[in-house]
Amino acid sequence: MSAPSGMPGPSTPGPSAQPGPYGQPSPLQERRRTWLIVLLVILALMLIGIVGCVALDGTAGKAVNEAVTEVSASQKASQQAQEDPNAPREVTPGKAFTIGSHEVLDGWKVKADSTFGDAEFQVTGKAKNVSEATSTMLIHLKFIDKSGDVLGNAECSTEDLEPGQTERMTCISDGRYTSKYDKVTAEADF
């Protein structure tokens, strides 16, 4: 005997929840099993997605941190150069840069010079007075390897230059030349 659906008391399962003929699951049991499988597949895909995102985030996070650090260092050097035009800064051979009242023009070069025996750093190029007063350029270049060691130096100068005047630089260097330098820094030399 089964109680009507709205009345308390013992109830027996309806005909749809009972096994079908020959012990086969009923349609209701099959739907429950299908939903369980679908739910497990969705959960597995979510877990795979989360693990993948965490792995990507770690890799992307490292790349972003490196890029931010590099940009920050570049911005700091640029800001320092704007605040103090004589401050040391990294320069690229062949590309123009300004130190103090003078601009070293595009096309300056670094190469080996063996005139006096062992090869030394030879720096050639032109400088221009970009100020409103007559002045002499004196700069110090450092050739630095990846580990931060200074491989060589060059002291470059011009004679007195009138405002807007350009002249070939005279550079005296020390240190044995090697093409293994990683960067060049320049600073005003007083």
CATH classification number, 86-188, choose in 2.60.40, 1.10.3210, 1.10.3470, 3.30.160: 2.60.40
Most confident of 29-33, 37-41, 103-107: 103-107
> 0.75 exceeded by the pTM?
no
Number of C-alpha atoms within 13 angstroms, CB side, residue 70?
6
Distance between CA atoms of 138 and 121, rounded to whole angstroms? 17
Percentage of the chain exceeding pLDDT 90: 38
112, 134 contact by CB (below 8 A): no
Kindly state the tokens that stand for 107: 């096309």
136, 161 contact by CB (below 8 A): yes
Rounded mean pLDDT, 50-60: 74
Percentage of the chain exceeding pLDDT 70: 69
Query: Nearest Cα to 158, choosing from 121, 184, 125?
Result: 125
pLDDT in tens, 138-174: 999 999 999 999 999 999 999 999 999 999 999 998 8
- Domain segments of the chain as ranges: 15-83, 86-188
pLDDT in tens, 78-128: 555 556 777 889 999 999 999 889 999 999 999 988 877 888 889 999 999
Distance between CA atoms of 49 and 41, rounded to whole angstroms? 12
